[in-house]
Structure 1
Amino acid sequence: MSYAEINGLSLYFEEHGSGEPLVLLHGGFGSGEMFAPILPALAEGRRVILVDLQGHGRTADVDRPLRPELMADDIAALLKHLGLARADMMGYSLGADVALRVTVQHPQAVRRLVLVSTPFRRDGWHPEVVAAMDRMSTEAAETMKQSPIYEPYARLAPRPQDWPVLIGKMAEMKRQHYDWTTEIPPITAPTLLVFGDADAVRPAHMVEFYGLLGGGLRDAGWDGAGRSIARLAILPGATHYDIPTAPGLAATVLPFLDS
């Protein structure tokens, strides 16, 4: 467990195992702890680097907005801090946005990319999810203390009193329009997309994402020669909210990372 002083942040990270480096990036309001159920499997034979993103977990907030693009630069700086030329990236939800932006902004730093349960465009979420994002505000902070996401924040945060600040910054970020359509096709890192079959991301958007990466555009042929380097996995019975602990997640990700 350690901190890296980068980009004005004291960025918390911890390392587990040894071997090919794999950076794990958690979802919004969470921390690296959310990967605890699958960490042993992922750390067997690889060097897993768990990171708490800006304002999350043990990383205190700083005076800048929450943006995937800025947090992606933090992760690239962390790799340099650790003396790593490149690493595999795996992110869930907000962490997947950050992992994607690392790949776009620092393509040489990513060997393989795993994106779990996130769209590349804001309207990729189901409409009711977008509506809920639009309703989020700082005023909801007190009510949200009753939700399961508050307990780990209060336990880990250097300044638990910043809870309303995190809610406000997340609300402001989630109201931002974004569309990364044109930035997906140039990605050269082999990429695995993972969604639940009851996800907050629309199924049609999942397929569109896969297509932008070159997947599913043609028959692979009897010998598989027409298969793209992208992969798409749909986990049965998984939602956006429980997919980080879904039994099939590690079993889906590990063969991809090892291939």
Structure 2
Amino acid sequence: MMLFLFNLNNMVFYTESDWRGVMNHIFKLAFIFIINIIFLINASATTMDKDKFVEANGIKIHYVEEGEGPPLLLIHGGGLTAKSWQGLAKEASRYFRVIMPDSRGHGLTNNPQGTFSYDLMTEDMAAFVKALKLEKPLVMGYSDGGMVVLKLTSRYPDLARAAIVGGATHRFATTHYMQGMEIFYGKGMPQGQLTDRDLDKMASDAPGMVKFYQNMHHPEQKDYWRTFLEGVWPMWTTPTSLTEEEVKKIHIPVLLLDGDRDEFFTVEEVTQLYRLLPQAEMTLIPGSGHAIFQTPGKTPLFYALVLEFLQRQLPKAS
């Protein structure tokens, strides 16, 4: 195992009340800024490739591709789409065939039953890999996509060559995680099903988030964000985890990549996962929160870390 920790000795310490008050405000402002940047990028960027669709696990999965070479599957985070990978895809496509699907119920991928679960999304991706006949792809997932990658490589140990898990651990909906949800969606949001009253409160407390979801998915459907959050919220807020035994089934090389100020997952939680994985590396990006691939000033470091790890996993020329 290898462990890389950046800048841990330079962390600033606050009292609990100071930290929650000041940092919650800073994180909320930073996240609103970041999601607006993502939207502007998506609105102005040219299409990476022609939209493609494939039937897999009973749904029609939309995906885009860029580049040629060994396959690299990128699985986006909750509420995002394949478009969120455009920056990384531009860099990675010089070396890899980069394949970016929209997850179930996100972007242009349908979800006929309106049901979301990490187990279901894991089977979606397993079927997607099979449908495209990808052999030993490199896989990377961020946030929700990170949980899917963990489940995918545990359930199908021989499916991938290597994996990167960003902004995720093997346990979701912990106490710290739910505090992060309050930062972005407002205080008092329930775990489990949302009511109309909850959604109205969210629209008032987090208008930037609502606007982001609306623009990211179906801008022509005024209230799509409500339908989306009603469906996905139970998955996001119901505690779920991989057992230690399930994690230890992941025998391929794995890079854990996270921000040292992630609003959802603590450094200690990421470290616990690192210690369970047989072939793990762990890197913390200093000064970065949950949106590790969009933190201003940190993007070049993020790209460099990802590409360096991926290139090390390829067979060496004889």
- 1:187 match: 250
Q: Distance in 1 between matches of 2:92 and 2:117?
A: 27
Q: Distance in 2 between matches of 1:83 and 1:124?
A: 40
Hey, what does 2:292 align to over in structure 1? 243
- Distance 1:34-1:171 versus aligned 2 partners, 3 A rule: same
The answer on whether the counterparts of 2:214 and 2:222 sit within 8 Å (CA) in structure 1 is no
Q: Deviations over 1:181-229 (max 9, x none)?
A: 3211121110000010111211111111110114xxxxxxxxxxxxxx3
Partner Cα distance (1:233, 1:124) in 2: 23
Larger radius of gyration: 2
CA-to-partner distance for each residue in 1:4-24, whole Å, 9 max, x for gaps? 112221100111101110111
What aligned pairs does 1:141-152 form with structure 2 within 5 A after superposition? 141=199, 143=203, 146-147=208-209, 148-152=212-216
Give 1:135's aligned amino acid: M
Alpha-carbon shift at residue 48 of structure 1 (Å): 0.4
Q: 1:128 to 1:145 in 2, by over 3 A?
A: closer
TM-score by length of structure 2 reads: 0.70
Deviates further, 64-73 or 143-152: 143-152
- The structure in which a higher percent of residues are strand is 1
**Counterpart pick for 2:118 among 61, 65, 68:** 68
Corresponding residue SS for 1:59: coil
Corresponding residue pairs, total? 242
Identity of aligned residues (%): 26
1:37 equivalent in alignment to 2:75: no
Separation in 2, partners of 1:145, 1:138: 17
2:229, 2:66 → 1: CA distance? Answer: 30
Give me the whole-angstrom Cα distance separating, in 2, the residues matched to 1:195 and 1:125.
Answer: 15
Q: Report how far residue 141 of structure 1 moved.
A: 4.4
2:157/2:249 contact within 8 Å kept = no
- Partners of 1:112 and 1:165 in 2: how far apart? 35
**Distance in 1 of aligned mates of 2:110 and 2:222:** 9
Which structure 2 residues correspond to residues 20-169 of structure 1 after superposition, within 5 A?
A: 20-122=70-172, 123=174, 125-126=176-177, 128-129=179-180, 135=189, 137-139=194-196, 140-141=198-199, 143=203, 146-147=208-209, 148-155=212-219, 162-169=224-231
Distance in 1 separating the partners of 2:85 and 2:273: 24
Equivalent runs, 1:220-235 vs 2, <5 Å? 229-235=279-285
Taking structure 1 as reference, are residues 27 and 164 closer, same or farther at Cα in structure 2, changes over 3 Å only?
same
Alignment of 1:192-203 (within 5 A): 192-200=255-263, 201-203=265-267
Structure 2: segments with no counterpart, 5+ residues: 1-50, 313-318
Shift of 1:40: 0.9
Mean CA deviation greater in 104-113 or 11-20: 104-113
